Amino acid sequence: MFEATEINIRNKRIGKGIKFSFLLMTVLLATPVLIILAVLIQKGGPMISWDFLFSDPTNGMTAGGIFPALIGTISLVIVALIASVPVGVAAAIYLSEYAKDNWLTRIINLAIINLAGVPSIVHALFGVGAFVLFFKFGTSILAASFTLAVMTLPVVIVATRESLQAVPYAFREACWNMGATRWQTIYKVVLPNAISGILTGVILEVSRTAGETAPIMFTGAAFFLPFLPQSVFDQSMALSLHLFVVSTQVPNVPEELPYGVALVLIGIVLLMNSISIAFRFYLRGKKKW
């Protein structure tokens, strides 16, 4: 029978210590999130009702509901996804499957990294100059969504490129040996096996898009609109801006109102993310490797 030596006992003790350290770090990271959710549920939970969700703000936004802001946030997220995901996936496919390792590719990669580090207020100024003034979209859902799309492009590109590169190269070689073209290989084999990773980028984009305030404040979000937008060329309210307004700009707001708005905003993000994660797990289960 094997007898543990002093070295084995020490290594086992060190391994348990490292495992406990990682567990402690994970708990420390998760604790603030749980505390925030608990506070929002405790203070904002009493505000949640059908009337709060599906009625307009009243009495100078100190009463009533958040329906225009709710619809505006969903509209901004959907239009931003439509604008950014196809472009981001196409750019990632080029960088991963077609581009050679030369000075042009390195400049593109550097530009993507720098774009990810640009502050959101700078994206807001870019959106005003490019989409509001140059393309003459005006302050609208379209201008705000395009600004958010530009801001979140690096997330989609990086996540897609990493998932494409994770597909075994042998899959590509097998298709080429069967006479398939490069595009047929990408479309039929590489993309289906990388879709779960692409959805990771989409999940991160949804989270950031729904919570941004500065990029939409100057490009399309309104302080107060008691009606719903009729097209993407109209302004709309947004939950993130509405939360800022009722928390800092409107006097005599009930204490639970900002917490209720924040709880709904987080709820929307969690709902959209949950749908994407469930779809990602479904697609990941269909992989053959």
Record the tokens describing residue 137, joined without a space. 């979209």
pLDDT surpasses 60 at 43: yes
What is the per-residue pLDDT for 134?
94
Which pLDDT band, with edges at 50, 70 and 90, does 189 fall under?
Answer: confident
- Mean per-residue pLDDT for 72-99? 92
pLDDT surpasses 70 at 31: yes
Three-state secondary structure string covering 80-97: HHHHHHHHHHHHHHHHHH
Rounded Cα gap, residues 197 and 189, in angstroms: 14
Q: Per-domain residue ranges for the chain?
A: 6-47, 50-285
> What are the backbone dihedrals phi and psi of residue 63, each rounded to the nearest 5 degrees, phi first?
-150, -175
pLDDT surpasses 70 at 40: yes
Place of tokens 């929002």: 40
pLDDT digits (tens, 9 = 90+) for 219-271: 998 888 878 888 999 999 999 999 999 988 888 888 899 999 999 999 988 88
Residues 6+ apart with CB under 8 A from 203: 272, 273, 276, 277, 280
Share above pLDDT 70 across residues of the chain, in percent, rounded to a whole number = 97
Residues 6+ apart with CB under 8 A from 43: 255, 256, 259
pLDDT digits (tens, 9 = 90+) for 200-213: 888 888 888 888 88
What is the per-residue pLDDT for 288?
59
**CATH 1.10.3720.10: does it fit domain 50-285?**
yes
Which pLDDT band, with edges at 50, 70 and 90, does 286 fall under?
Answer: low
What is the per-residue pLDDT for 94?
92
Rounded Cα gap, residues 144 and 167, in angstroms: 35
Q: Find the DSSP H helices in 117-255.
A: 120-127, 141-166, 169-177, 182-185, 191-211, 214-217, 239-248
Specify which residues 63 forms β-bridges with: 58
pLDDT surpasses 70 at 1: no
Which pLDDT band, with edges at 50, 70 and 90, does 5 fall under?
Answer: confident
Place of tokens 């897609």: 160
Q: What is the CA radius of gyration of the chain?
A: 24
Element (H, E) at 63: strand 63-64
Q: Is residue 120 within 8 Å of 214, Cβ to Cβ? A: yes
- Mean per-residue pLDDT for 38-42? 92
Which pLDDT band, with edges at 50, 70 and 90, does 72 fall under?
Answer: very high
Phi-psi region of 179 (alpha: psi -120 to 50; beta: other; left: phi over 0): left
Which pLDDT band, with edges at 50, 70 and 90, does 63 fall under?
Answer: confident
Mean of pLDDT over the chain: 88
